[in-house]
A and B are shown apart, each in its own frame.
Chain A
Amino acid sequence: DIQMTQSPSSLSASVGDRVTITCRASQDISSYLAWFQQKPGKAPKSLIYGASSLQSGVPSRFSGSGSGTYFTLTISGLQPEDFATYYCQQYNTYPVTFGPGTKVDIK
């Protein structure tokens, strides 16, 4: 199975900050990488697919980059509604696997 790791596991940030989360795959997954946002008690929400394509309706302050084994999710100008846990997911190979998550909370 492809192992996904994320760093940091948690971070504290202020409204307006630029935040970057990294995700690494244990082997080459090309651009088959998605990012999800999850708030407490809610279902995950897809933000980005194909490593850098924004899902419809997702604010442009979210961006994704990378390919192969190294990926990043950047939030440019953190908003109050962005405090949540973020997961990466590879869908290049079955089984689909998720990273352990990065919790973004208020400083």
Chain B
Amino acid sequence: QVQLVQSGAEVKKPGASVKISCKASGYTFSSYYMHWVRQAPGQGLEWMGLINPSGEITTYAQKFQGRVTMTRDASTSTAYLELDSLTSEDTAVYYCASHLYSSCDFWGQGTLVTVSS
């Protein structure tokens, strides 16, 4: 069965960077897109962007352009999200979601990132 297992919670100071991993299993990782979505406390879902199967093409939401980087490693079936210049407004749960049939078909369990001085 498809599984996405994300790295653990992070606590960062303002201005720092965070890198989250998402390890996939149960499907051919290198054949499908991966999305990243975040959810601030008590808020709705916010799409951050996606990376194509080969890892050569990324599409980012304009809001995150310039401080987000999505990568993937086919050898370990792992996708990564890196977000720079963190502020308190980046405190959220970050999800990876694989695009097998449509958009976000299968989701990771989420990674809580807390930004606090």
Q: How many residues of A contact B (CB 8 A)?
A: 23
Question: Shortest distance in angstroms between B32's beta carbon and chain A's nearest beta carbon?
Answer: 14
Alpha-carbon separation in the docked complex, A88 to B81 (Å)? 24
Alpha-carbon separation in the docked complex, A95 to B37 (Å)? 11
- Which residues of chain B (71-117) have a CB below 8 Å from chain A? 95, 97, 101-110
Q: How many residues of B contact A (CB 8 A)?
A: 23
Question: Shortest distance in angstroms between B101's beta carbon and chain A's nearest beta carbon?
Answer: 6
B107 and A49 contacting across the interface, CB-CB below 8 Å? no
Question: Shortest distance in angstroms between B62's beta carbon and chain A's nearest beta carbon?
Answer: 7
In the complex where A49-B101, A95-B61 touch, is A101 in contact with B107 (Cβ < 8 A)? no
Chain A residue with the shortest CB-CB distance to B46: A98
B66 on interface, CB distance cutoff 8 Å: no
Alpha-carbon separation in the docked complex, A34 to B106 (Å)? 12
Contacts of B95 in A (CB 8 A): 43-44
A46 on interface, CB distance cutoff 8 Å: yes
Chain B residue with the shortest CB-CB distance to A46: B105
Chain B residue with the shortest CB-CB distance to A4: B44
Contacts of A34 in B (CB 8 A): 102-104
Contacts of B108 in A (CB 8 A): 43
Contacts of A87 in B (CB 8 A): 44-45
Q: Mark A32-59, 1 if CB is under 8 A from B, else 0.
A: 1010101000011110011001010000
Question: Shortest distance in angstroms between A100's beta carbon and chain B's nearest beta carbon?
Answer: 5
Alpha-carbon separation in the docked complex, A94 to B50 (Å)? 10
In the complex where A49-B101, A49-B102 touch, is A43 in contact with B44 (Cβ < 8 A)? no
Contacts of A55 in B (CB 8 A): 101, 105
A11 on interface, CB distance cutoff 8 Å: no
A89 on interface, CB distance cutoff 8 Å: yes
Contacts of A45 in B (CB 8 A): 107
Contacts of B59 in A (CB 8 A): 94-95
Interface centre among A32, A36, A55, A96 (most CB of B within 10 A): A96
Contacts of B46 in A (CB 8 A): 98
> B residues touching A (Cβ–Cβ < 8 Å)?
35, 37, 44-47, 49-50, 59, 61-62, 95, 97, 101-110
